[in-house]
Amino acid sequence: MNSDSDCRSWFSAADLLTQDGTAPVALIGAPLGLGSITPGRCDLAPETVRAAMKRMSVYDLETETDLSSVRIFDAGDIGLERTQPAEAFAPIVETLMPLTREHQLTIVLGGNNAVTRPCVHALDAMLQRVGVLTLDAHFDLRDTDCGLTNGNPIQALLEDGLPGAHIAQIGLLPFANTRKAHDKAKSAGIYVATAAACKAQGLAVIAENALARLAAKCDVIHVDFDIDVVERSAMPGASGARPGGVGVQDFFDATRFICAHPKVRSVDLTEFDPSLDVAAISALTAARWVCEALAGYQKR
C-alpha cells in the first residue's frame, strides 16, 4: 500500500494548525458579531474559515511555494458571545497581547471591524510606536458619540492617541464614504489611496508605498484586511462590499506582499458574514487569504 497516495490522504491548510505554542505563527478567532451598523453574523466567520481551510492545498504551483513546513498555533476563539465592542476591548487585548509577543505573526479571524481597535492596542500600549494599514472600502471614521461600532475603529484609535500619520488606508470606494470622513482623514494626515488608484498602480504597489511610509515612523504594524474591499461579485459574504472594489487576485497578491514585511506583526480579516455567502465563494476567498498570508510570512 502506498502511504503517500494522495487519494488516501489530503494534506490541507487546516493540517498546518497545531496546539504547539512554539509555532512561529498564531491564529485566533475574534467572533464579534454585535455592534455592526448592518446587523449580520460575522461571529460565524472564524469557524467557517477554519472549515474552508480544509479545501486549500499547501502548494502554490505558480510560484512553487510550499507551506507544508509552516505550523500555526491555533489559539481557538475569544469568548465574545453577546458582547458589544466596548466590552470586547479588554478580552481581545488581554488575549492577543501575549500572542503578538510570542509569535512572529498573529492572524486574527474576525468578527466585525470593531476588533481592529483592540488588535492595535494589543501590539503595543504605546500607540506612538504602532502603525496601522487598512485595506477597506470605508474610512471607518464615523463619530463615536453613539458608541463603538464596526464603522468607527479608526476614529476611536485617533481618539485613543494614535497619530494620523501612522495610519494608511487603501482601497477606498466612491459613494461608500462621506465628505466628512474624507475631510477627517485629510485633517489627521492619514495616507489615503482610492480603489481606482489601487487598480491603476496595483494594490500591492500601493501597499508597498503605504508600508514604507509606516515603517519609517513605526516599530510594529497591524494590518486590517476588511474583506469588503473586494469587488462585490467576488465577495457576496460581505455586506459592505460594493461593485467597483479591488480584484480578488490583487487582494491575494497584496496580502502576500504585506505579510512578508518584518514589521507586520498582526493582521485581521474582518466583515465576513457567512450567512450572506453564495456557493462558499467568500469562505474559499477567506481561506485562500490565510494561505497567502502564510506564503508572505514564509518569505521573511
pLDDT the model gives residue 158: 98
pLDDT for 238-268, tens place per residue? 999 999 999 999 999 999 999 999 999 999 9
CATH number for the domain spanning 33: value is 3.40.800.10
Q: Work out the percent of the chain whose per-residue pLDDT is above 70.
A: 99
Asked, for residue 9, whether it belongs to a domain, the answer is no
271 close to 232: Cβ distance less than 8 angstroms:
no
pLDDT the model gives residue 3: 61
Asked, for residue 12, whether it belongs to a domain, the answer is no
Asked, for residue 88, whether it belongs to a domain, the answer is yes
pLDDT the model gives residue 2: 59
- pLDDT(300) > 70: yes
Asked, for residue 1, whether it belongs to a domain, the answer is no
Q: State the total domains in the chain.
A: 1
pLDDT the model gives residue 78: 98
Pairing of strands 17-18, 130-135: unpaired
Asked, for residue 126, whether it belongs to a domain, the answer is yes
Pairing of strands 65-66, 59-60: antiparallel
The predicted model scores a pTM of: 0.97
Asked, for residue 4, whether it belongs to a domain, the answer is no
Asked, for residue 2, whether it belongs to a domain, the answer is no
pLDDT the model gives residue 6: 73
113 close to 271: Cβ distance less than 8 angstroms:
yes
Largest CA distance in the chain: 68
pLDDT the model gives residue 114: 98
Look over the chain and give the mean of its residue pLDDT values, rounded to a whole number.
96
pLDDT for 113-172, tens place per residue? 999 999 999 999 899 999 999 999 999 999 999 999 999 999 999 999 999 999 999 999
pLDDT the model gives residue 5: 73
Please give the full DSSP string across 95-117, using - where no structure is assigned. HHHHHHHHSSEEEEEESSGGGHH
Indicate the helix (H) or strand (E) that contains 135.
strand 130-135
Q: Which domain range does residue 263 map to?
A: 17-298
Asked, for residue 128, whether it belongs to a domain, the answer is yes
Taking the C-alpha atoms of residue 300 and residue 294, their distance in angstroms, rounded to an integer, is 10
